[in-house]
Amino acid sequence: MMRSRHVDAGAQQRLLDAGLNPILARVYAARGVGSIDAIEGGLERLLRPDAMRDIDRAAELLWTHIEGKRRILIVADYDCDGATACAVGIRGLRMMGAVVDYLVPNRKVHGYGLTPDIVELALRHPRLGRPDLLMTVDNGIASIEGVEASNRAGIPVLVTDHHLPGDRLPEAAAILNPNQRDCAFPSKNLAGVGVMFYLLIALRRQYRDRQPQSAAASAQLQELLDLVALGTVADMVRLDENNRALVRAGLRRMRQSKAQAGVRALALNAGRHLANLDVRDLAFSIAPQINAAGRLEDIGVGIECLLADEPAVAEGLARQLDQINRQRQNLQAQMNRQALSDLPDAGNIGVALVVFQETWHEGVVGLLASKLKDKVHRPVLALAPSADPEVLRGSGRSIVGVHLRDALDWVSKRAPDLLLRFGGHAMAAGLSIRRHHLALLREVFTQAVASMADPEALQPVIWTDGPFNPLWLREDWIQSLQDAVWGQGFPAPLFQDNFEVLGQRAVGGHHLRLTLRSDTGMQIEAMAFNRETPLERRIRASYQIRLNHWQGRTQMRATLEHVESCPWR
């Protein structure tokens, strides 16, 4: 079912008066934006770090270790947010004179986060030696045992994370997480890389207060914004005004050819030009190359690519990441086919879905869960075997209206022995269970979703920006849509019209190329991806309009997202 968003006419007019074109004014007004500053403001509009709980203590801890020439070891997560947060931490701390290195768990061997086993590895780090401080990025808020193990070894821990905390916090020297209780930081939506960037801002301020003439006091942290933008988009956190400002600033640097060598190399791999890079390119072309390393092999390859300064080194590492990503794509396609072929009939799915197969790879189940969630519009948990034959590890994706981490918390309270570990966000989470508890997980997770979900949340609604005015078909206006920052919680423009299908043909084996004419008289070329069945002569469709650049030519093209039959007038 397609519905049009409400447009605040007053906000729309203010945006028009401020100089926005009619498409942007309408789209932004439909997303609650009423001020030009909210969409064009620079870093001066960033929230100040002062309100973040423990940030001064965390900065003081780092300052003490840097000035004492003590060794700092970053323990990172194995996804793109974790990799970018690690690279931002390494680069930023080295700008300020730190002796710093990193360590990342292996997904299949160590599991997630700072565990006692990771602490043991940290004590004999091959490059750094025994560290004096452990700092987590994009993890650590649930690492009770790992922090205890580090404390016993005499090494304090600084936790930087953004995941929702449990009932108990680790006994760390400082915890930086906007989602912890009693943290007054206005935005709860920072990614792990955003939290790390804010800590560096606070650390630089320490130097400006204590040693204003030092190199650290003038560290050029803006050079890290391309990494901040990439990690923020990749982790699909809500793009509130603060996150949009970070992403906008990072994209601006990329388009000005000021990106890190690794980001440039990854963009080249994906066939993208930095000059017109957009959020979709970050989310669907660059981030997956880094994520693939953490899913299938070692995220260290991705981190080294982001840390490389020499273009030749970055390009070599990027080629490795591209090869790994191609393996991931093939594996994911196989798992998707298996899962879709085993799906129950639509009427028999229930309110939630839990899937498992022996041949699945634990590094790819999150992508599978996302695919199935989109297919059935239900919260989905997908599980795979782990290195421990008695344990299954899984990942979940949810729909608007069902907070996934809260649902798993509900499960943990109703069946205390069921979940060995869990954590995450409203829309995505990870978990591990004992193999013999799979049937129980299906039962209790379904109960959790049934108890939490409003029945309307289980009815898919496609929210659109209404009809597209043919007078808006201008390249500069369409380009302005692509240049803007869209993402989780701030969706890209999606229009809705009735069309006559003037022509269609299969391309690439699995897609349709179309010529459409809307009821308003707009004629446009379109693509329907992953659709082999020909469309009816008359359709109602939701779609995006983009500029397609190919071999020196630019063409406006619609991409159909959802198609329904439509009666003739």
In this prediction the pTM is 0.92
pLDDT recorded at residue 459:
86
pLDDT recorded at residue 460:
86
Question: Per-residue DSSP letters for 50-108?
Answer: GGSTTHHHHHHHHHHHHHTT-EEEEEE-SSHHHHHHHHHHHHHHHHTT-EEEEE---HH
Provide the 8-state DSSP code for 181: T
Residue by residue, pLDDT tens for the chain (569 residues) are: 889 999 999 999 999 999 999 999 999 999 999 889 888 878 888 999 999 999 999 999 999 999 999 999 999 998 999 999 999 999 999 999 999 999 998 777 677 789 999 999 999 999 999 999 999 999 999 999 999 999 999 999 999 999 989 889 999 999 999 999 999 999 999 999 999 999 999 999 999 999 999 999 999 999 999 999 999 999 989 999 999 999 999 999 999 999 999 999 999 999 998 998 999 999 999 999 999 999 888 899 999 999 999 999 999 999 999 999 999 999 999 999 999 988 877 667 889 999 999 999 999 999 999 999 999 999 999 999 998 999 999 999 999 889 999 999 999 999 999 999 998 888 899 999 999 999 999 999 999 999 998 888 888 889 999 999 999 999 999 999 999 999 988 999 999 999 999 999 999 878 999 999 999 999 999 999 988 889 999 999 999 999 987 767 888 999 999 998 887 66
List, in order, residues 6 or more apart from 120 with CB less than 8 Å away.
149
The residues pairing with 499 across neighbouring beta strands, listed in sequence order, are 518, 539
Number of Cβ atoms within 10 Å of the Cβ of 470? 12
d(CA 484, CA 49): 25
Which of 146, 176, 181 shows the shortest CA–CA distance to 159?
176
What's the token pair of residue 1?
């079912």
Distance of CA 184 to the CA centre of its chain: 24
- Strands (DSSP E) contained in 258-333 are none
d(CA 32, CA 213): 44
Place of tokens 């995220």: 299
d(CA 234, CA 283): 5
d(CA 158, CA 180): 14
For the chain, how far is it from start to end, CA to CA, in angstroms? Answer: 20
Q: Which domains does the chain have, with CATH numbers?
A: 2-38+462-565 (2.40.50.460), 49-322 (3.90.1640.30), 346-450 (3.10.310.30)
pLDDT recorded at residue 253:
96
Place of tokens 């840097």: 66
pLDDT recorded at residue 474:
94
Provide the 8-state DSSP code for 490: B
What's the token pair of residue 338?
């298996």
Distance of CA 8 to the CA centre of its chain: 29
pLDDT recorded at residue 346:
62
